[in-house]
Structure 1
Amino acid sequence: MEGPATLRILLLGESQNGKSSLANTIFGEAIFKVKEFNDAKSFTTEAKTKFVNGRNFTLIDTPGLFDSGRPQKTVKSELMRCMIESAPGPHIFLIILKVEKYTEQEKDVIAKIRRHFSDDALKYVALIFTHGDQLPEGMNIQQYAAQSDGLWELVQKCGGRCHVFDNRYWRNTEEEEYRSNKFQLAELFKTIDKILIKNKGGHFSNTILNEIETEIQKEIELLKLSSENMSEEEIKQQVKSIVLKKQSSKKEERLWKMVSFGVGVFSMFIIFRRAINTAEAPPLTIDLLKDTVQQTTEDAIPNTFEVISNYFALYEKTYSPFCPFE
């Protein structure tokens, strides 16, 4: 199978799991800067392209997008950048884990990835375990994963596709073929080919990616008409910046529509409660509205009845001298 001209590969996983180092191992040189967990400047998505193993690879290296405790505004902005870099959609997802106990925190990260991209993305996933020096002697990564029911279930959902690397200690080792990045890289390339064959050379997509790709192509055509001297690469980079700004503006617009709707619904509800209750309801405050919006804000405006339910639930938490509906 000939496959796509450029293969888009999206690397996802917790911070400090070795995504950038793995990208450098795949490319065979230190192209990506290893990100520091507490460095705000490191919380950024990078995409680089190189000819590897007979084809062009674009590796999209993400920060810990699904780490717990990250500010949601920063995360959503970077998620949008990640989608723009991988549009019209990644051919391969590499989810990076470490060779260690499969913790509740890692389970939560996997759950967030699946919620954001949907389980349909698992058809394009290979699991990559780093810190391979922690793998017990004489054990392969499938045997290791099978020791944990939750981890083994994930491996099975990803078609049994998993590999192990050690970006620090396995660089030049020739002692054992399996415990070698060279061997694992060759196996990973085979897995990538199998995923492409299974998906007929296609890539993952969803509504957001389709919308972004349409926007990108439109902006490319406009820029070509006005900038004759720009190279294809310059046009592409400028368009990505334009689309990122436009998508961010659209999200702000959706948010304010929801806020306006929420203020109206919430205010009407307070008036209604005051009419039937003897006690005074709490005042409608900016902080209360902020909390409300935070609970209901998603990438798209939620279902109307879902929004109303959220406001009612929040109100009952805040104020409930008695409930006439019980």
Structure 2
Amino acid sequence: MNVPKPLRVVLLGKAGNGKSSLANTIFGNTVFKVSNFDSSFCVSESQTRQVNGKSLTLIDTPGLLAPDISEEDIKREMVRCITECSPGPHAVLIVLKVEKFTEHEQAVISQIYQHFSEEVLTHAVVVFTHGDQLPEGMTIQEYVNQSEGLSDLVQKCGGRCHVFDNRYWKNGEQDDYRSNKFQVTQLLNNIDDILRLNRGGHYTNSTLQEVEKEIQTEADRIRKSSRNMSNEDILKQAKLNTIKKHLEGGKKAWRWDFIGFGVLAGLAVIAAAWAC
């Protein structure tokens, strides 16, 4: 019996917007560590769980434009994120707060374009947190329509948007709309729509394709020499070995077109973290 592969979903957004808490809400359990400080820097992390009968791999990322965090650190972790979701994410969650959409939020969206390109919006859903700030009786679509910037973003994402409250909507006392369980179901339906619209494919670009090819080549080599390793362990080791080869200068460095140059040196920290 073939086990369906998990759907890879990346969470992107500003520091303090509640990405880790949102991931825990989707999983229905505390899986990701949540920082109590908006500017706290974390590393990219992926976890896989069953949600409503679907296997999901959620990839949490550090906050974009985090204060006191160097752009190089952010780039380094984005590289780790992209390697984690190789060969590419099936869906991207752009996480925003229910608050005024300012130039700072627009800068976060611009940085997402820088890391992935605007084409990633064909696989994206805008997800709002802090739903308790949503005026009573108002839907998130109605809220979005009040802002030209938000409306334009959601429109580019195919009209896909949801609202959660990781703190106050945990029980089942709210009406259907203001319920995390209801929103999770609707979010999964939207991810199904993304898969259908993209014919089941994931987002990719030339760099992701090159990364995946190298990982699979290394995985085949490990599989032949280590027959007792599980496929999961083989894949983890293949990712680590691929990065090490580039760090050691044995192969031509990847062209990280979507984040610029000078990032590869930072991968030493990633390799060390994976070795732990």
Q: Partner of 2:243 in structure 1? A: 244
Q: Secondary structure at the match of 2:113?
A: helix
* Aligned equivalents of 1:217, 1:117: Cα separation in 2: 22
- Which of residues 298, 304, 311 in structure 1 aligns to 2:260? 298
Q: Partner of 1:194 in structure 2? A: 193
Cα 1:254–1:194, aligned 2, differ >3 Å: closer, same or farther? Answer: closer
Cα 1:183–1:5, aligned 2, differ >3 Å: closer, same or farther? Answer: same
Q: Partner of 2:26 in structure 1? A: 26
* Aligned equivalents of 1:191, 1:27: Cα separation in 2: 16
Map of 1:42-191 to 2, 5 A cutoff? 43-67=42-66, 70-191=69-190
Regions of 4+ moved over 6 Å: 252-255
Q: Give, in angstroms, the shift of residue 148 of structure 1.
A: 0.9
Radius of gyration: which is bigger? 1
Cα 1:166–1:249, aligned 2, differ >3 Å: closer, same or farther? Answer: farther
* Aligned equivalents of 1:249, 1:133: Cα separation in 2: 50
Cα 1:27–1:247, aligned 2, differ >3 Å: closer, same or farther? Answer: farther
Supply the RMSD in Å over aligned alpha carbons. Answer: 2.3
8 A contact 2:86–2:208 mirrored in 1 = yes
Name the structure where helix makes up a greater proportion of residues.
1
Q: Give, in angstroms, the shift of residue 63 of structure 1.
A: 1.0
TM-score, normalised via structure 2 length:
0.85
8 A contact 2:44–2:77 mirrored in 1 = yes
Count of residue pairs brought into register by the alignment: 254
Q: Give, in angstroms, the shift of residue 194 of structure 1.
A: 0.8
User: Structure 2 regions of 5+ residues with no counterpart?
Assistant: 264-276
Deviations 1:133-185 (A, max 9, x none): 00000100011111111111111111110000001000004232111111111
* Aligned equivalents of 1:249, 1:147: Cα separation in 2: 52
Deviations 1:285-307 (A, max 9, x none): xxxxxxxxxxxx92389xxxxxx
* Aligned equivalents of 1:246, 1:74: Cα separation in 2: 21
Q: Secondary structure at the match of 1:94?
A: strand
Q: Give, in angstroms, the shift of residue 56 of structure 1.
A: 1.2
* Aligned equivalents of 1:232, 1:214: Cα separation in 2: 16
Cα 1:38–1:66, aligned 2, differ >3 Å: closer, same or farther? Answer: closer
Q: Partner of 1:14 in structure 2? A: 14
8 A contact 2:16–2:39 mirrored in 1 = no
* Aligned equivalents of 2:252, 2:220: Cα separation in 1: 25
* Aligned equivalents of 1:55, 1:82: Cα separation in 2: 22
User: Structure 1 regions of 5+ residues with no counterpart?
Assistant: 256-296, 302-326
* Aligned equivalents of 1:74, 1:25: Cα separation in 2: 27
* Aligned equivalents of 1:68, 1:175: Cα separation in 2: 35
What fraction of aligned residue pairs are identical, expressed as a percent?
52
